[in-house]
Structures are given as structure tokens and as C-alpha cells.
Amino acid sequence: MFYSKIALSLLVYFIIWFLICLYKKKYSLVDIAWGSGFVVVAWVSYLIAQASSMQSTLILILVTLWGGRLFWHLARRNWHKPEDYRYVNMRKRWGTSFVYLKAFLNVFVLQGILLFIIALPIMHVFAHIDSEMRWWQYIGCVVWIIGFFFEVVGDYQLEQFKKDPANKGKLLTTGLWRLTRHPNYFGEATCWIGIFLIAVTGISNSWLIVSPLIITLLLLFVSGVPLLEKKYRKREDFKAYAAKTSKFFPVIGKKGL
């Protein structure tokens, strides 16, 4: 019952975003809903549980910070921009029949299912209140802070770089972008490793590792890194950058993954 209520709240949440996207004639706005969707899960879980612990309160705060920041960042960047090319290509593949149904199922329902799975550690801590804080949960807090730093600072450095007209057409290769070609994506994955470590209380619920595993795989092989790598791979400056800079994990002085 606990999980079904959250699933229902997510369904309502994505129906609202579906209607917003229809009104704006831009399905790519669903990207804005990603971060705040986790905030919805966290607060609905808190309200349903009607109880809390240090563990669950930490996750509520950290998820709200992470999701709220991501929502604001993407809303400022994407609200007035044209439809993202990925969604333009989707529209072409769908054809002209049942387009609204295809959009709802392929974009909004799919994203809602992925969000629900990745948010399992959030729901778990409220469904199974545990007052004891273990050593690895404190480590999880540190891991989350590191991830949040990489994501926030990486996004900030890129935003400031793009604001300078002198950088038009250039690649950002300094700051955190000198350590990894995708510091913001690395940071996002790391934040969810931290959430997992805070949520897990023992070997019996170690299955919650599915959360950081899925989001890391998505970022590395589906929706994040591959799209940007494909976009720039033919550029000579990117080839030189990629030859000396790690794709994902930050490395100083030696290229890694």
C-alpha cells in the first residue's frame, strides 16, 4: 500500500507534466520534471510514513536539495529553448497515428517507471524506519557531498563558460572539466551512491544498489555521456581533449574511464 500510493502520486505528477508539455508543444520539458520527481517521492513518503529517523530525515533533506537544484537549473536553461533534438527525432519516429498516446507511454510513463525504481532507497527508509545510524551511512553522507559538489560546480563552470562570447564554439577543458569530461554526470551518479549507502541498513536490503546502478548505467550508456560524446566526436579539439581526459571518473594526471 505504501509503494502503491507513491506510484499513484508519480502517475498524477507525470500526467500534470504531460499536460504542461502539450500546452507548450514541447515534450523535452519533461527533463525539468526529473529532479523534482524525486522530491515528490521523498515528501509523499514522509507524509505517508508519519514518522522519521535521522536516516530518513537526512535522505529527505539531501534529495530535496539535489532535486530542487536540478529542477531550477534545467528550468532556467530549457523552459524557453526550442524542443530538444532527441524529442524532435522521437516525434518523427512516432508518425501521425496515436501520437499523444505514444508520447505519454514512451516519454512520461517510461520516465516515471525509471524514477520509481531509482527512488527505491528513498521509499525504503520511510517504509522501514530505523533509528540506528551505521558507519557506512556517515560515509554515504560524505559521498553525497562529493557528488553534489561535482554536479553543482560542474554545471556552474559550464554555464559561466558559455556566457562568455569569446568561448563560442570552444570546449570547456578547465576546472572540474580537466579531471573528467562529464563532471556533472559523475556527480549525479555519485549522489545516488551516497543515497544508497545512507538507505541501506544491512545485507538484507543491499538490493537497493539497483538504484545507483541503474542511474549510472543510464548516464554512461544511454541518456547522458553517449549523446554528448556523439555530438562532438568528429571535432579535432574534442579528440585531443578526450585523449588526455577521463570520460567519467575524475583522474588527475592519467586518463581513465
The DSSP letter of residue 172 is: P
Residues 6 or more apart whose CB falls under 8 angstroms from that of 55 comprise 125, 130, 131, 133, 137, 198, 199, 201
* Model pLDDT, residue 249: 93
Residues 6 or more apart whose CB falls under 8 angstroms from that of 225 comprise 181, 182, 185, 219, 247, 248
Residue 237: CA atoms inside 13 Å, Cβ hemisphere, count? Answer: 6
Q: What would the mean pLDDT of 253-257 be, rounded to a whole number?
A: 61
pLDDT-derived band of residue 227, with 50, 70 and 90 as boundaries? confident
* Model pLDDT, residue 257: 62
* Model pLDDT, residue 254: 60
Residue recorded with cell 579535432: 236
pLDDT-derived band of residue 253, with 50, 70 and 90 as boundaries? low
Residue recorded with cell 553522507: 141
Given a cut of 90, whether residue 216 has pLDDT beyond it is yes
Q: What is the pLDDT of residues 54-108, one digit of tens each?
A: 999 999 999 999 999 999 999 998 888 887 777 777 777 777 777 888 888 888 9
The whole-angstrom separation of Cα 203 and Cα 103 is 39
The whole-angstrom separation of Cα 228 and Cα 182 is 9
Higher-confidence position of 257 and 148: 148
How far is C-alpha 32 from the geometric centre of its chain's CA atoms?
A: 10
* Model pLDDT, residue 256: 56
Q: What would the mean pLDDT of 27-43 be, rounded to a whole number?
A: 94
Q: What is the pLDDT of residues 116-168, one digit of tens each?
A: 999 999 999 999 988 889 999 999 999 999 999 999 999 999 999 999 999 99
* Model pLDDT, residue 90: 75
Q: What is the pLDDT of residues 164-203, one digit of tens each?
A: 999 998 999 999 999 999 999 999 999 999 999 999 999 9
Residues 179, 251: contact at Cβ < 8 Å?
Answer: yes
* Model pLDDT, residue 255: 62
Q: What is the pTM assigned to this prediction?
A: 0.91
